[in-house]
Amino acid sequence: MKEAFDILSRSIADVRRNEPMSEHTSFQVGGPADVMVLPKTVEEVRIVLKTARYLDCPLFVMGRGTNLLVTSKGIRGIVMKLSDNFSGLTFDGNSVMAKSGTPLSVLVREAARRCLGGVEFLGGIPGTLGGAVYMNAGAYGGEIGDFVEEVFLTSAAGDLVLQKNEMDFGYRHSILAAVPLVVTGVRLKLIPCDEEESLKKVEELNARRREKQPLEYPSAGSTFKRPEGGYAGTLIEQTGLKGLRIGGAEVSTKHAGFVINRGGATPEELIALIEEVQTRVFQASGVWLEPEVKIVGER
């Protein structure tokens, strides 16, 4: 991967070799990425895409790593991280144009300062806007897809803009899962609100999260998608799996829907526990839980 590193380093300031993914994921585990690049502009994103195509090199695009579980062997090829280096907001009336690396908490609070709301439910989700749109993130009855106007995408071949009605938003789903394009920006239409009331709502929702979720331990949020007609956490608890451990990985005793790194867990222990939960819940209820956490890396 030296050639990829050398090419990218000529045009982009922040390029790293053998970067430990444990420093870039909320689980705080994961082996090295061969090359990690943190672009600041859309043009730099295109350079990464063109380089990967030129070298026929694997490319993985990530945000803040809050929904990732990376194996101990790490990720081969190039990892492009669109996060703090690729962040920014521009407001125009009730609309906001945001770079895809903008943290959701920043979006919500900056909007509230301008008396714009509706997206308070996103304030406690630790991911980025791009990742949220990719999976149509939601909480407490709201989904980000309800507020999207346009999604700006790029590839090695050029740019594309998709309108809301082209995004095929559904539960934890958008059309982006099926297209090889990178989200660079999103235009959202928000709702006029009272700043104080909006910030109060954010704090109330975050307090609920702290009370009910094991935020004191490394995790990737809700481990499983909500099954049809029920909740993953309820099924897991009914199966008697709260507190189940494999090494340092544990099904949270606070909220059964979370697999946590209780301390010193390896990626393989976390993966094994996720698979054990899937198997036992299926045996008990006939429901196969689909992970919301994305497992990536060399096995």
Q: What percent of the chain has pLDDT over 90?
A: 95
Contacts of 108 (CB under 8 A, 6+ apart): 119, 120, 122, 123, 202
> What is the sign of the dihedral through the CA atoms of 148, 154, 155 and 158?
positive
Residue 78 shares a structural domain with residue 10:
yes
- Is 209 catalytic? The answer is no
Q: Which of 17, 114, 172, 209 is catalytic?
A: 172
Residue 171 shares a structural domain with residue 235:
no
Residue 22 shares a structural domain with residue 51:
yes
pLDDT at site 222 = 94
Residue 192 shares a structural domain with residue 270:
no
Residue 66 shares a structural domain with residue 137:
no
pLDDT at site 157 = 87
Q: What CATH number should be reported for the domain holding residue 62? A: 3.30.43.10
In the sheet that 15-20 helps form, which strands lie side by side, from edge to edge?
A: 15-20, 32-37, 75-81, 59-62
**Which residue, of 178, 211, 244, is where some domain finishes?**
211
Residue 151 shares a structural domain with residue 95:
yes
Q: Which of 222, 250, 252, 262 is catalytic?
A: 222
How many other CB atoms sit within 10 Å of the CB of residue 33? 27
Place of tokens 């939960």: 277
**Which residue, of 190, 211, 232, is where some domain finishes?**
211
Residue 156 shares a structural domain with residue 243:
no
Q: Mind listing the pLDDT tens digit of every residue in the chain (299 residues)?
A: 899 999 999 999 999 999 999 999 999 999 999 999 999 999 999 999 999 999 999 999 999 999 999 999 999 999 999 998 999 999 999 999 999 999 999 999 999 999 999 999 999 999 999 999 999 999 999 999 999 999 999 998 899 999 999 999 999 999 998 888 999 999 999 999 999 999 999 999 999 999 999 999 999 999 999 999 899 999 999 999 999 999 999 999 999 999 999 999 999 999 999 999 999 999 999 999 999 999 999 99
Residue 29 shares a structural domain with residue 142:
no
Q: What CATH number should be reported for the domain holding residue 110? A: 3.30.465.10
Q: Which of 270, 167, 168 shows the shortest CA–CA distance to 219?
A: 270
**Which residue, of 84, 112, 146, is where some domain finishes?**
84
pLDDT at site 145 = 97
Residue 133 shares a structural domain with residue 67:
no
pLDDT at site 84 = 85
DSSP secondary structure, 117-168, as one string: ES-GGGTT--SBHHHHHHTT-EETTEEGGGGEEEEEEEETTEEEEEEGGGS-
What's the domain range around 63? Answer: 2-84
pLDDT at site 178 = 85
pLDDT at site 246 = 98
Residue 111 shares a structural domain with residue 201:
yes
Residue 194 shares a structural domain with residue 130:
yes
Q: Which of 62, 26, 41 shows the shortest CA–CA distance to 135?
A: 62
- Is 204 catalytic? The answer is no
Residue 204 shares a structural domain with residue 248:
no
- Is 172 catalytic? The answer is yes
- Domain count of the chain? 3
